[in-house]
Structure 1
Amino acid sequence: MKIVITGGAGFIGSNLARALTEQPRVTQIRVLDNLSTGHKPNIAGLDVDFFEGDIQNAVLLDQVLRDADAVVHLAALPSVPRSLRDPLASHHANTTGTLQVLDAARRAGDLYVIAASSSSVYGANPNLPKHEDLTPAPMSPYAATKLATEAYLSAYHHSFGLPVLSFRLFNVYGPGQRADHAYAAVIPKWVSATLAGQPVTVHGDGTQTRDFTYVGTVCRVFTNALLRRIIEPRPVNLAFGTRKSLLDLIPEIEVATGRPAHREHRVPRVGDVSHSQADSTRLLALFPEVTPVPINEGIAATVDWFRASAVIAASS
């Protein structure tokens, strides 16, 4: 199998590329990334063919997808706050970019397409747990772009017969997720701050809940879907209902780092969802053998990566 990963130099993409190199049936991995949020060192040492460029470049897409069997579409401008600052940039990268990938997949011979959506599409819908038949209620431009991603995958499946699968990701974390930028996710930010002896910033009172999912679990599901060619035009939650408040996350980080985490509360952020918890019924029907990595193990692995990265950075 020849697999293309858009956004493959990013956090999830590079972890997936590493996981796929261990699969005997995968004979070639092509990574396409414009390096706007991805980093080439993430794929250093991996047996992949790297193409630097943007998914909105149709000519480049045709080159990268030629003779491929499947595309895992992860390229996007992530982050709710980023989309609030520049909604058009998020739309072009996430919505138009997805449309370009789908059209290129058709031109390449109706390739199998897996794409990453987001739990943010549930937005203001208060029902818990979040099941895929709930009415979406996006609260940010980013969430709207991910809902559009799902809609385009479904439309291309029903209109053109394109084999597709879209996953709603819930707060993915783990090794390789950086903390050194303005839009960093909560776990890498808090792990990095605690290791550095700095306070962790809590927006709001910290009682908001999230369904944290370890990146290794996500990669196992993606890999399984690729090898078995699982086709599902409806979106699929990729999380396991392990709801945890931000305040309850802090002791996990303290245990893993062996250091106290001092809280610094700030005002809530616009566009943030108060509570998130996945209904995993559809996921487990498609992938009954997949079990999640417990959060204490995932955070411990994340802390180990941060410590190793600090050593590498200090010696480079």
Structure 2
Amino acid sequence: MAKILITGGAGFIGSNLAHALVKDNDITIIDDLSMGKEENIADIDVTFYHHDVCDSAFMHKLLSENKFDYIYYLAAVSSVADSVVRPLETHRVNQESVVDTLEYIRTEKLPIKKFLFTSSAAVYGNLPDFPKTETSHVDPLTPYAIDKYASERFTIDYGNLYNLPTVAVRFFNVYGPRQNPESPYSGVLSIITECMKNNKPFTLYGDGLQTRDFVYVGDVVNALIKLATETNESTVYNIANGGETTLIDVIRTYEDISGIKLEITYKDSRHGDIKKSKADISKLKNVGFEPQWSLEDGLRNYWKYYSEN
């Protein structure tokens, strides 16, 4: 039985990961509940701390007392727009807390098996390289993307310079159960789902022809566990489906599944919004990962979950 720490573990991806790992492992979760919800983990047996990862004294004590085997670092202010409004505060969570944790592991020689940091496809920006490979040019356009890129590089460099077992991932558009629709900057599919269920208009920024690589959270969780437990190289991996769908096509597919017509209000694109996004996932496939969920199957499962909860 491994000892596992999931920062941000009451959030969308973190709680799905905790559900997948809890059966055979001893799980500790830390989350300040700014985006996560305690109800996401209420039905599983975990040790939960309602706390801020920026409290380094608390984090150091937790790390030294528990000697975790695996650390999945998902804690973040994941709103791009929030990072534009509050660049310094979000920097503390999205970069400083990560480096502080890595440095404590290094200086205290903590015997971890893997530190996995979750970065974002936002690091690629709007550059023309397509599809995005891990060696594509990066052009982070917001404080959020800058911090994600810097923390990802710190994670990899701590692996290569200090021989810590680390790995980083770049999430593309993840969707699925337990996604929080309450922030205006949540994943677009959680907001669409909320609008459909409550018969509210959905605000679409741009013309709807922007493309995204949507990946179901079940596939993301499988990829995270595989990369934490079955890889040895300190490097970065795209986590995505490897497909490309326009937002308007996703909406039409979802309407067919739910049987609900979405009322759409069109507005101008937001500054920093990305036009085209698609991942090359050959590197992830090379370690034995294959996506199991098509967009249609994932949306059907998401709608079923949402309708029942």
Q: Normalising by structure 1, report the TM-score.
A: 0.92
- C-alpha distance in 2, partners of 1:231/1:60? 29
State whether structure 2 residue 84 is matched by structure 1 residue 52. Answer: no
Aligned-partner SS, 2:144: helix
- C-alpha distance in 2, partners of 1:108/1:47? 29
State whether structure 2 residue 27 is matched by structure 1 residue 29. Answer: yes
Letter of the structure 2 residue corresponding to residue 233 of structure 1: S
Counterpart contact for 1:2–1:69, Cα < 8 Å: yes
- C-alpha distance in 1, partners of 2:109/2:163? 14
2:290 corresponds to: 290
Counterpart contact for 1:81–1:271, Cα < 8 Å: no
Cα drift, residue 62 of structure 1: 2.5
Question: CA 1:142–1:289 in structure 2 vs 1: closer, same or farther (change >3 Å)?
Answer: closer
Letter of the structure 1 residue corresponding to residue 299 of structure 2: I
Letter of the structure 1 residue corresponding to residue 76 of structure 2: A
Counterpart contact for 1:4–1:64, Cα < 8 Å: no
Cα drift, residue 289 of structure 1: 4.1
2:254 corresponds to: 253
After superposition, where does 1:1-316 map in structure 2 within 5 Å? Answer: 1-22=2-23, 24=24, 26=25, 28-65=26-63, 66-106=66-106, 107=108, 109-111=110-112, 112-228=114-230, 230-286=231-287, 288-309=288-309
Letter of the structure 1 residue corresponding to residue 285 of structure 2: L
Cα drift, residue 103 of structure 1: 2.0
Letter of the structure 2 residue corresponding to residue 150 of structure 1: E
Counterpart contact for 2:126–2:276, Cα < 8 Å: no
Counterpart contact for 1:32–1:54, Cα < 8 Å: yes
Aligned-partner SS, 1:125: coil
Question: CA 1:292–1:145 in structure 2 vs 1: closer, same or farther (change >3 Å)?
Answer: farther
Compute the RMSD of aligned alpha carbons.
Answer: 1.4
Deviations 1:26-82 (A, max 9, x none): 2x0000111122111111021111112121222222332222111000000002111
- C-alpha distance in 2, partners of 1:260/1:268? 23
- C-alpha distance in 2, partners of 1:67/1:85? 37
Deviations 1:166-215 (A, max 9, x none): 01000111000021222222101111111222222110101110001111
- C-alpha distance in 1, partners of 2:149/2:169? 11
- C-alpha distance in 2, partners of 1:2/1:155? 24
- C-alpha distance in 2, partners of 1:289/1:184? 27
Letter of the structure 2 residue corresponding to residue 75 of structure 1: A
Counterpart contact for 1:58–1:104, Cα < 8 Å: no
Count of paired positions? 304
Counterpart contact for 1:129–1:276, Cα < 8 Å: yes
Letter of the structure 1 residue corresponding to residue 290 of structure 2: V
- C-alpha distance in 1, partners of 2:225/2:163? 22
Between 1:39-48 and 1:297-306, the stretch displaced more is 297-306
- C-alpha distance in 1, partners of 2:186/2:203? 12
Letter of the structure 2 residue corresponding to residue 163 of structure 1: P
Counterpart contact for 2:134–2:237, Cα < 8 Å: yes
- C-alpha distance in 1, partners of 2:179/2:149? 24
Unpaired segments of 5 or more residues in structure 1?
A: 310-316
Cα drift, residue 117 of structure 1: 0.3
Counterpart contact for 1:102–1:156, Cα < 8 Å: yes
Cα drift, residue 157 of structure 1: 1.1
Between 1:241-250 and 1:174-183, the stretch displaced more is 174-183
Letter of the structure 2 residue corresponding to residue 45 of structure 1: D
Unpaired segments of 5 or more residues in structure 2?
A: none
- C-alpha distance in 1, partners of 2:290/2:242? 14
Aligned-partner SS, 1:116: strand
Aligned-partner SS, 1:232: coil
Letter of the structure 2 residue corresponding to residue 140 of structure 1: T
- C-alpha distance in 2, partners of 1:275/1:224? 28
- C-alpha distance in 2, partners of 1:70/1:156? 16
- C-alpha distance in 1, partners of 2:47/2:293? 30
Question: CA 1:124–1:35 in structure 2 vs 1: closer, same or farther (change >3 Å)?
Answer: same
Identity fraction in percent: 34
